[in-house]
Amino acid sequence: MNSRIEILNKTQADIKLTRIAYEIVEQSIELDEIILAGIQDRGYDIAKIIQQKIKNICDLTVQLISIDIDKTNPIHCKIDEQLDLAKKNIIVVDDVANSGKTAMYALRPFLKHLPNKIQLAVLVDRKHKKFPVTSDYVGIQLSTTLKEKIIVEVDEAKNIIAYVE
């Protein structure tokens, strides 16, 4: 039987995402627009929440796009390319950063557009990096064993909980 240890309840997760939204606004104060690119599924859900929080804070234009990574062939990563991403500031959003591999694959399709800046926002950062990827905006940073799994759940009301299993 797996035991779950809650690391973020819905109130704590909401506070962490609000803080991330404020940090993004502070770092983007001179910009007119940013692109939030959420990794499907939970990263996109988290990006939508951050987008709404930013709208509540200021009038910064926040475009939301999704990144779809095929887990069987992660090199083929899809984004909505209808937006002009050249010289834009892009923030890739995911639920958990483990080794950095997912973030590396998620960054790949943006490179051909020559963006101004690409950053990474995650709710949970585990610090088990195998790739040279660091998170710019972090809700909570944990030291875990490699055997432990971090699970983030987003319900229909966009409430988030995170736990270690």
Q: How far apart are the first and last CA of the chain?
A: 10
Q: What stretches of the chain show up as alpha helix (H) in DSSP?
A: 10-27, 42-57, 101-111
Q: Is the pLDDT of residue 129 over 80?
A: no
Q: What is the pLDDT of residue 13?
A: 97
CB 38 within 8 A of CB 80: no
The whole-number pLDDT of residue 113 equals 87
The predicted pLDDT at position 81 comes to 65
Mean pLDDT of 1-27: 93
Whole-angstrom Cα distance, residue 105 to residue 102? Answer: 5
For residue 148, CA distances in Å to 32, 80, 142 come to 41, 33, 11
Q: In this model, does residue 14 exceed pLDDT 60? A: yes
More confident site: 107 or 50: 50
What amino acid occupies position 89? Answer: N
Residue 128 has pLDDT above 90, yes or no: no
Q: What is the mean pLDDT of the chain?
A: 91
Cis omega (within 30 of 0) for bond into 155:
no
The mean per-residue pLDDT over the stretch 39-68 comes to: 95
Under 8 Å between Cβ of 106 and 77: yes
Residue 132 in this model has a pLDDT that exceeds 60: yes
DSSP 27-47: HTTT-SEEEEEEETTHHHHHH
